[in-house]
Amino acid sequence: MTISALLRPRSIAIVGASPTQGSFGAQLHSAIKSMGYEGTVHLVNHKYDEIGGSHCYHSIDEIPGAVDCVAFAVADGTLEAVFVSAAKAGAKSAVAFGRAVGSASDGSPLTERIAQIAGDANMAVCGANCMGYVNYEDGIQLTGFPFAGLIQRTGPIGIVSHSGSTWSGLVGNKRGLNYNYVISAGQELVTSVSEYLEFLVAQPQTRVVLCVLETIRHPESFLSAVSKANARGVAVVVLKLGRSEAGQGFAQSHSGAMSGRADVYDAIFERCGVISVRTLDEMLDCADLFANERRPICSGVAIGTDSGGERQLIADLGSEIGLGFPTLEESTIELLSPLLDPGVKPENPLDYWGDGRNVIAPCLKALAADRGIGTVAMASNLPDGREFTHACANAVREAHAATDKPMVVMSNIATTLSPVVAAQLRSEGIPVIAGTETGLRALRHFSEFRARNESALRRRWALQGGADDFAFPHEPSLKTHTLDAKSSFSLLEQAGIPVAHWEITANYADAIDFATRIGFPVVAKIDVPSIAHKTEAGGVALNLMSTDQVREAIEGFERLGHGSSALIQKQVKGVELILGLFQDEQFGPVFTLGAGGIFTEVLKDFVLLLPGDDLEHIANKIRSLRIFTLLNGARGLPKADIDEIATVVQKFIRLGISLSGRVSEMEVNPLVVDGRTIVAVDCLVILT
């Protein structure tokens, strides 16, 4: 199957071509001709011999030779038949605009039948339920909803979108961004987003690909395409739609319940170097930056502005977003000091406007000369009708010419920005981003790209440790889908994860004997695998300091109907963490690490980890938690060994990977950390 025949066809057949003005078939024909397409266009409709002076074939098989791409301007009810005809005629690809609703002739869903026909014929298919595409390279606007005035002006930005309306908005943007291909993927019945992404990454002019995605239907091929983008230095920017996941409420473990699908996508994107954005404006600001030839050599961002108030706004939002502004070098301060009014400090962000002297260009050049700065931005609103706007534009041009670092203009008010001045600056290689928050977010992505790309190239997506062999209970002996404490702790101990001293006792006499041997205080817990959360069921007794209290606890379990069998465990104290595993339906095993104990879901202080995460990455994730303050010795607590915690976490990940075919969820809660001592206290293992 060749995607080139779909996106770069030398011949196109319009099935359902029509002479009726305003009809879909007529609009499709007009759109294809509108950008000067030089290939052959065949019109197909059994009702006509000619349309607008051009010959019209009654069926596809009348066309001499194979057609590269067939565009279907027909109702859903005829889609199956025309797909069959196109396949028999040797068509290499097709675009299906309709929703493909209903059943095929054999009773199967029409979408499945179309996919089967195209797959058997090795046809690439855009859609169904799509808007088509625009190929600026070859001047093809293949859509039934054409734009007037599109010209063949290719550029370094590729786009794939599941949303048709968003596709229209991106094609019709007023920023003057130059695209090479803008593709409305629709339902991906045959050709996937991953294939489009790989195609776009392979184009020599592509520097950035924007993806608006509802889901990733082919995770492995998507990650493979992203890996190729990383190798070429192409930025992949994704706006993930539908970030909530109500189904998580059905998870039995705390880990599964507190982690929505958005968290998984974010973790995957971080691992693979994908830039995740929240809004379309943020996405377009990223496109503006990454389309430029210049890339920052380091992550430092410096901003110069003509407003003290807006400098405060930039500093406030930058802090919230996580965009830091590095302290300037002494040599930079020496350059700036004579340029500024008395009492104005040369700081980053820099307010260079004082008594009206135009010092913008020398200030921007001084910022660019700083070795800790990779990107310089001039923040000014650039309204139409003011001489100051042209002074700012000329200053940034001068600074841009004096450095090889990215020089950027950021308007704090998107609607104030002069479109004429912005277009001029962009044409000269100076990105113009619009809006303080989206602009700063884009600057953070831009400044971090090099480090994230290098990290993605280093860290392979692999199931490390998947070959470990852990003894597992025989399936026929299990009466529930949850392992008992003995089996669960056995798995942890096999993995090298320390467990607090424990024993399963048959009655309170055995419980008292164990407690006496290991020393008080102890904890008593019911040993009923079907009860996932024992505290809520009244099945946990803490701070048992004597044999009488142990007896009372066991008798209490009996009164609740839990019997006299119990888990007795040495009670330990410290900072409580949670380790969790759940199976994502697309990406497989995903792991949680966060604040543990009974308030896990209330605190929601956690991070996600993935197979193959190394010790350094795990340790950094531990430090990103709010509870790290306690681990680091706050309030007189003993300081924890973060590297040792990371080692225990990695052992849990290896265990989870090895069991992923047999376990749907698993968690250690709590994992108690007391200085250098780390022990698991409770473990829940839920089988598939």
What percentage of the chain exceeds 70 in pLDDT?
93
pLDDT in tens, 336-346: 999 998 888 99
Query: In this predicted model, which residue has the larger pLDDT, 471 or 643?
Result: 643
Question: Given a cut of 90, is residue 244 above it in pLDDT?
Answer: no
Q: Give the pLDDT score at 255.
A: 39
Mean pLDDT of 549-556: 87
**DSSP, res 362:** H
Question: Alpha carbon 619 to chain centroid distance?
Answer: 22
The answer to whether residues 295 and 408 touch, using CB atoms and an 8 Å cutoff, is: no
Of 210-219, 273-282, 378-387, 505-514, which gets the smallest average pLDDT?
A: 505-514
Question: Given a cut of 60, is residue 466 above it in pLDDT?
Answer: no
C-alpha distances (whole Å) from 309 to each of 57, 306, 325, 687 are 67, 9, 17, 58
Question: Given a cut of 80, is residue 601 above it in pLDDT?
Answer: no
**Residue given tokens 């800790």 in the structure block:** 372
Mean pLDDT of 409-425: 94
**Domains of the chain, start order:** 3-241 (3.40.50.720), 289-458 (3.40.50.261), 462-500+572-688 (3.30.470.20), 504-570 (3.30.1490.20)
- Residue 350: which of 445, 340, 390, 406 has the closest Cα? 340
The answer to whether residues 426 and 432 touch, using CB atoms and an 8 Å cutoff, is: yes
Mean pLDDT of 599-610: 84
Question: Given a cut of 80, is residue 230 above it in pLDDT?
Answer: yes
- Residue 311: which of 444, 416, 441, 440 has the closest Cα? 440
Query: In this predicted model, which residue has the larger pLDDT, 480 or 83?
Result: 83
Of 204-208, 326-330, 458-462, 515-519, which gets the smallest average pLDDT?
A: 458-462
* Pairing outcome for strands 432-434 and 502-505: unpaired
Q: Give the pLDDT score at 109.
A: 95
Which residue spans within 143-254 are E strands per DSSP? 157-161, 179-184, 208-213, 235-240
Between CA 589 and CA 583 the distance in angstroms is 5
Q: Give the pLDDT score at 23.
A: 96
Q: What is the mean pLDDT of the chain?
A: 90
Between CA 50 and CA 52 the distance in angstroms is 7
Q: Give the pLDDT score at 464.
A: 43
Mean pLDDT of 13-36: 96
pLDDT in tens, 163-191: 999 999 999 988 889 999 999 999 999 99
The answer to whether residues 672 and 576 touch, using CB atoms and an 8 Å cutoff, is: yes
- b/e sequence 567-601, b meaning 16+ C-beta within 10 Å: bbbbbbebbbbbbbbbbbebbebbbbbbbbbeebe
Query: In this predicted model, which residue has the larger pLDDT, 502 or 533?
Result: 502
pTM value?
A: 0.89
Q: Give the pLDDT score at 471.
A: 75
- Residue 65: which of 29, 14, 116, 13 has the closest Cα? 13
Reduced to 3 states (helix: H, G, I; strand: E, B; else coil), residue 209 is strand
- Residue 213: which of 253, 240, 193 has the closest Cα? 240
Mean pLDDT of 488-501: 93
Question: Given a cut of 70, is residue 259 above it in pLDDT?
Answer: no
Between CA 193 and CA 12 the distance in angstroms is 22
Of 252-256, 298-302, 417-421, 570-574, which gets the smallest average pLDDT?
A: 252-256
Reduced to 3 states (helix: H, G, I; strand: E, B; else coil), residue 359 is coil
Strand partners, 94: 70, 125
Size (the chain), residues: 688
Residue 250's pLDDT band (cuts 50, 70, 90): very low
pLDDT in tens, 189-222: 999 999 999 999 999 999 999 999 998 989 999 9
Q: Give the pLDDT score at 476.
A: 42
Q: Give the pLDDT score at 532.
A: 65
208's CB contacts (< 8 A; 6+ apart) are 156, 157, 158, 234, 235, 236, 237, 286, 287, 290, 291
> Tokens in use for 411?
């308007």
Mean pLDDT of 421-438: 95
**DSSP, res 147:** P
Residue 251's pLDDT band (cuts 50, 70, 90): very low
Q: Give the pLDDT score at 361.
A: 97
Between CA 536 and CA 541 the distance in angstroms is 12
Q: Give the pLDDT score at 602.
A: 75
Q: Give the pLDDT score at 661.
A: 82
Mean pLDDT of 150-170: 93
459: how many CB neighbours lie within 10 A of its CB? 16
The answer to whether residues 578 and 669 touch, using CB atoms and an 8 Å cutoff, is: yes
Reduced to 3 states (helix: H, G, I; strand: E, B; else coil), residue 144 is coil
- Residue 554: which of 613, 601, 511 has the closest Cα? 511
